[in-house]
Amino acid sequence: MSRPIIEVRNLSKRYRLGAIGATSIREQASRIWDRVRGVPHADKQDYWALRDVSFDIQPGEVVGVIGRNGAGKSTLLKILSRITEPTSGTARIRGRVASLLEVGTGFHPELTGRENVYLNGAILGMNRAEVRSKFDEIVAFAEIDQFIDTPVKRYSSGMYVRLAFAVAAHLEPEILIIDEVLAVGDAQFQQKCVGRMRTDANSGRTILFVSHQLNAIAQFCSRCLYLENGRLLEDGKPRNVAQRYFATDATQPPMQDLKSRQRKDANRGKAMLCQLSLPNSPDPSGWRLPFATAPVFELRLDITEQFTSLDVSLCLLDAAGLEVLSVLSCWSGRLGPFSPGQTVIRAACPELNLAPGTYQVHLGVRSPAGVEDYLPSAGSFEILPINDPRWPEAERMSGLVRQQATFTVTT
């Protein structure tokens, strides 16, 4: 086996929380005077964003990195990109690295898009002729040709991402490091980027990809790292790592309390959402479903006046914020009448076959008089990784829904 292109050994990164050191004479004098008067200041505390992380990545591997917010994913990528120094341990990189970690990474805001393309090429060690040979491809991929001579400080976040990804993907680094920044772009561009990364992976480029979309990780990553609280908990096949990731989540109680949630919009409030649950979940947490399960959503409403009818709406969104399912109770018949008090409504959906991942639930209640209650992100549930011999290769397929069909052959 060849030498690893990325070699990480006992990598740790510590940050100091609490009081920040004084940066001016005035601040220093104020601190001294406060100390004389006995005014307390917050003590500094150690926070380990990474702790003793070790792994190797071979040339040509496509590796996904998953973990919850604050797990250390971005810190790891910043160290590998030479943006942040580790507190201890080593990270050895053998190859040219292009990083896309946040909107505008590596761009100078006062320079135009064209100038930033050449600047990034120079940072990667390319001469003007090499960049010029790729320039038209970069602009075409980013789809911002009419803005290429505009200073990037006037770009929208989506335009930033388009150009930054195009530069990183086309200037031929040996290693491509990408954070969740692609979520800023529109759905069509995200799919375009995934297609480009798949092409790069097939050509032998090494890719390190952070994403909360486990479906994207499963599509084109051959390996997955799972970070939690700064430590590497699992390193293996995406399906196996995802199972461990789901198994450690217990962030929601089985019955979600909706009474105290803040509502952004003023509603009539005569039929309020007060509880949400997923009663047919076989998992103790109450918020995980095996693939190809018909979910049942149970809503508890607090009703304060008589209603002849109520309409309940339910919408599911994927991790990228795309609406994948809408349900309105009136499509199936009238609900009512309702008397004051608490009422339980069950919405039994057909088998969804949604791709593994996390889905948000948006809820609404409407009466003939208007909107009674509306609550986005009322809760979330997870579809577990596909581990069923009846669905071979289903984990690797793209798309949000896996659907069987009837095939006929005519000769």
The CATH number covering residue 262 comes to 2.70.50.60
pLDDT at 182 over 70: no
Per-residue pLDDT reduced to its tens digit, 10-64 = 999 998 765 455 445 665 666 676 677 666 655 557 789 999 999 999 998 999 9
DSSP string, 349-360: PPP--BPSEEEE
Residues 288 and 194 in one domain: no
Residue 204 backbone phi and psi in degrees, to 5: 100, 5
Per-residue pLDDT reduced to its tens digit, 301-327 = 999 999 999 999 999 987 656 788 899
3-state secondary structure of 316: strand
What tokens were used for 46?
């150690």
> Domain range for residue 100?
6-247
The CA-based dihedral angle spanning residues 300, 302, 306, 310, taken in that order and rounded to the nearest 10 degrees: -40
Residue 408 backbone phi and psi in degrees, to 5: -125, 150
Domain annotation covers residue 402:
no
* Residue where a domain stops, chosen among 219, 247, 275: 247
Question: How many other CB atoms are there within 10 angstroms of residue 195's CB atom?
Answer: 12
CA–CA distance, 382 with 351 (Å, rounded to integer): 15
Domain annotation covers residue 153:
yes
Domain count along the chain: 2
The CATH number covering residue 239 comes to 3.40.50.300
Place of tokens 């997870």: 382
pLDDT band at residue 195, thresholds of 50, 70 and 90? confident
- Sign of the dihedral through C-alpha 54, 59, 61, 66: positive
Residues 12 and 151 in one domain: yes
For residues 85-106, one letter each, b for 16 or more C-beta atoms within 10 angstroms of the residue's C-beta and e for the rest, the string is ebbebebebeeebbbbbebbbb
Per-residue pLDDT reduced to its tens digit, 382-405 = 888 887 888 888 877 777 788 888
Domain annotation covers residue 262:
yes
Does the pTM surpass 0.85? The reply is no
Residues 190 and 268 in one domain: no
Domain annotation covers residue 239:
yes
Residues 214 and 70 in one domain: yes
